Structure 1
Amino acid sequence: MKQSLKLTGLVVVLGIAAGPAMAQEKIKIGVITTLSGPAAVLGQQSRDGFQLAVKELGGKMAGKDVEVVVVDDELKPDGAVTKAKGLLEREKVDFVVGPIFSNILQAIHRPVTGNKTFLISPNAGPSSYAGKECSPFFYVTSYQNDQVFEVLGKVAQDRGYKRLYVLVPNYQAGKDSAAGFKLDYKGEIVEESYTPLGTLDFQVELTKIANSKPDALFTFMPGGMGVGLVKQYRQAGLAEKIPVLSAFTVDESTLPAQQDAAVGMFGGANWAPNMDNPQNRKFVAAYEAAYNSVPGTYAMQGYDTAMLIDSAVKAVKGDLKNKEAVSAALKKAEFTSLRGDFKFNVNGYPIQNFYLTKVAKRPDGKFQTEIVEKVFSNYGDRYAKDCVAK
């Protein structure tokens, strides 16, 4: 009930309760994200970052009221397709924003882009749409999935780790993560463990890790999976012996639950809350004030997605009928990203910087990731050369 009240309140703030005469003048945006189950915190951050940006825009883009319709994909591909079609056919949205998980994106990509509606992903960035299957109706404000994992592979290689254990969930993003890690890492992979998506008990895998004694563990376990893994890893006494290199396993979405168990663990990212630029300092302060939590990349990318859409709507003066003009405006990405340097590659995926981060406990007792070093500069993904929608 509390969540329903919150969303209803947003409708009022954004001036959505307009009469029929104004209905055609609204910019309508559907947000489809995971808001239930162990991974709900990821979707909540993405939604909250997006809504914070819309609120800061005064609920308007190019002088038109903005209506945001939020739906929960429940991390179920079939259900997500039904809900995406509802956004298109019943709500008649101008843009679809989402989702968090790549398997959901793969389910809704064709229904949305095939309808010639713009789909903008604030998180999922599978390889499948970065190359030959790129689309002028699909943009990603996060990264191509491989890239953040390439950060960890390069760090492992540069630090001389000779033997690595790989632990990831068995779905597209998990497979992309392992592939991305191995692009730069040339040492021995002692074992690759692929667990079912949603796994919360890692005792079997932890026993294997302890027995194989690798130089480090590479893992990708988002949301509740990451909470379970990190706590169990620390409890098993492995954190002091085998360093953890991860992405989305220890971040601002999971740290409130992991807390001290995650301190010192490394991650790969395109941003961190302590990034030192004016727009980011303002965003972090506003997000913490609004939601009483530290924003993670999910929130940052959600915020940037709203600002990207705003820049495109302004560029076409609110006229969204000319799809080619809207696509061209989106591709220009004329907005100030919270991460600093940002532009789109030919395939609609970003060219940006990537960093090694480390979990730290702040003086106020909250936990956050902090930038250790820049690993890649102005880095585009390796699939863009195959994009035919140039």
Structure 2
Amino acid sequence: MMKATGGSALTAALAGCSSLIGGEDGNGNGGNGGNGGQQQTDEVPDEPIQAGLQTFLEGAPAVLGLQAQYGAETAVRRINEAGGVAGREIELEVVEEAGAAIENYTRFVDEGKDVTFGPISSGSHEQLLPVIEEQGVVNVSTDGTVSTLYEGEDPQYSFRAQNHDVMEASAAARAAVADLGAENIDTYANINPDYAFGYDEREIFNAAIENLTGAEEVYSGNPALGASDMSSHVTAVANESPDVLFTSCWGGDATLLLDQGQSQGLFDEVGVSVGTVWYGSVNDLGEDDIQGNLWGGSRNYYWGSPSMEQWPPGQELYDEAQDEYGVVPTAHFMSGYAAVASWATATEKAAQLVGGYPSQEQIAATLENHGFYTPAGYHTVAPNHQTYSTAHFGRIEWDDDRGHAVLEDLEAIPPSHVSPPQGQVSLDWVNNW
């Protein structure tokens, strides 16, 4: 029963546990040659699993893209140390995503990759979806979080490991109301990137804040992804002095907005500023960047939740990320980690069930309704191929002892509070609040 439900050495290793589930044979192995309890058959190939990851490696988006790479590499390293998937180690190729999502995926398939991961960009993910379904090689996206991706669709081979936009945009509205009180919010403003992700997050946040407070939007700006200047948007918002500023700017754009906002006194003119992806830039933020009433989201993972004393896998991952890469692991570290972990644990489960190495169809079928552990806790993959896990939002403060920003007054939000039930359209659900 434990084997059939994924209770293997691999599951334990990915959760960061120090012991293996199912007993040891005295040599630190799971009893079947160190392959996590998988009974080897002639149907399991001898060669390593070939995997491909596309993510942003350069420029402003690399603030998040490199975290996804680090997370994926960490999961692969732990999997291989635990004996691999069905006894097979993983070899991971990482390539630059920028503007080449379809080309990258197609090349991976042509080269015979067993699985692919990524992309980061929501626009690229939307374009890639029909190609994945046509080619028939499972892809687990690290991000590409636009809420409409799977709504009205019936994907077979495409999956997403990260929480989607409705979860963080509605959490941002909740955070603003919790901080100021609904009766004190009359106006709000938006600064969001000029592509699918930014427009999706603005639409959901607007619906949520208006349904919760009745507030009116007084400004909406859309700087280009990778913009070199946001001063016009900063000035326009400061002149309106809204009660709430919402932004989904990310990566280098988030740090630029914070830098220029601080220099122009923006955050003195706003009651509360909420940024869904601000904490993703924690490694690039200095103490001067986070002055004012700033609240940030951390999607499916915040290293301090649950507390490290309560949840040792969180401490282990934090330390490993510091030692291996010199970074604070963010939600995008976890998006890379969870993408690999979801596929690996589902494939291990499928191999145990079929008694050999599973096909793409069998892996995809097992991923549906699949649950798996990571250092972020428990995740579930819904029938619509969207993964759900705890969402996080908190006030951004500087921690002198750690030497980096942290989230105080953190709210860890279950998916049912910030995401619609299966089959409902996200925007329709929010508008019914």
Whole-angstrom CA distance in 2 between matches of 1:44 and 1:69: 14
Match for residue 293 of structure 1 among 302, 316, 327: 327
Q: For residue 201 of structure 2, what is the aligned residue in structure 1?
A: 177
- Cross-structure match for 2:337: 303
8 A contact 2:167–2:415 mirrored in 1:
no
What 5-or-longer segments of structure 1 have no aligned partner? 1-21
Partner of residue 259, structure 2: 231
The change in CA–CA distance for 1:257 and 1:156 in structure 2 (over 3 A counts) is closer
Give distance in 1, aligned partners of 2:250 and 2:60: 9
Aligned counterpart for 1:86 among listed residues 92, 99, 107: 107
- Which of 398, 413, 417 pairs up with 1:361? 398
Residue 163 of structure 2 aligns with which residue?
A: 143
- Residue 355 (structure 1) shift: 2.7
The residue correspondences of 1:257-276 to structure 2 (distance < 5 A) are 257-263=285-291, 265-268=294-297, 269-276=299-306
Q: CA deviation at 1:46?
A: 0.2
3-state secondary structure, aligned to 2:57: coil
After TM superposition, the structure 1 stretch with the greater mean CA deviation from structure 2, 285-294 or 131-140, is: 131-140
Task: Report the RMSD for the aligned CA atoms in angstroms.
Answer: 2.3
Tell whether 2:139 aligns with 1:119. yes
Counterpart of 1:167?
191
Kindly, what percent of the aligned residue pairs are identical? 21
DSSP-derived class of the 2:67 partner: helix
Q: Distance in 2 between matches of 1:47 and 1:378?
A: 29
1:341/1:352 contact within 8 Å kept: yes
Higher relative contact order (CA 8 A, sep 6+): 2
After the TM superposition, which residues 214-225 of structure 1 pair with which residues of structure 2 at under 5 Å, given as runs?
Answer: 214-225=242-253
Provide, for residues 126-174 of structure 1, a one-character-per-residue CA deviation record: whole Å limited to 9, x for no partner: 2332211241211111112222011112233442222101110111100
Counterpart of 2:227 in 1: which secondary structure? Answer: coil
Shift of the 370–284 alpha-carbon distance from structure 1 to 2, 3 Å rule, reads: farther
| Change in 2 beyond 3 A, CA 1:71/1:24 | farther
TM-score w.r.t. length of structure 2: 0.78
Distance 1:320 1:65 in 2: 13
Gap change, CA 1:371 and 1:335, over 3 Å in 2: farther
Report the structure number with the largest CA radius of gyration. Answer: 2
How far has the Cα of 1:259 moved from its partner?
Answer: 4.0
Answer yes or no: is the 8 Å Cα contact 1:130–1:144 preserved in 2. no
Distance in 1 of aligned mates of 2:70 and 2:64: 10
Q: Which amino acid aligns with 1:339?
A: A
**CA drift at 1:24:** 6.2
Q: CA–CA distance in 2 between the matches of 1:298 and 1:328?
A: 26
Match of residue 130 from structure 1: 150
Moved over 4 A (4+): 318-321
Query: How far did 1:370 drift?
Result: 4.6
1:5 alignment partner in structure 2: none
Contact 2:64–2:280 (Cα < 8 Å) also in 1: no
Partner residue of 1:66?
90
Report whether the alignment pairs 1:345 with 2:373. Answer: no
Aligned to 2:220: 192
- Is the CA contact (8 Å cut-off) linking 1:46 and 1:299 kept in structure 2? yes
Partners of 1:345 and 1:380 within 8 A in 2: no
Report the counterpart of residue 7 of structure 1 in structure 2.
none
- Secondary structure, counterpart of 2:406 in structure 1: strand
Q: Which amino acid aligns with 1:349?
A: Q
Q: CA deviation at 1:311?
A: 0.6
Quickly say closer, same or farther: Cα 1:375–1:188, change in 2 above 3 A. Answer: farther
1:116 shift after superposition:
0.7
Matched with 1:32 is 54
Instruction: Give 1:280 deviation, angstroms.
Output: 1.9
Alignment match, 1:103: 123
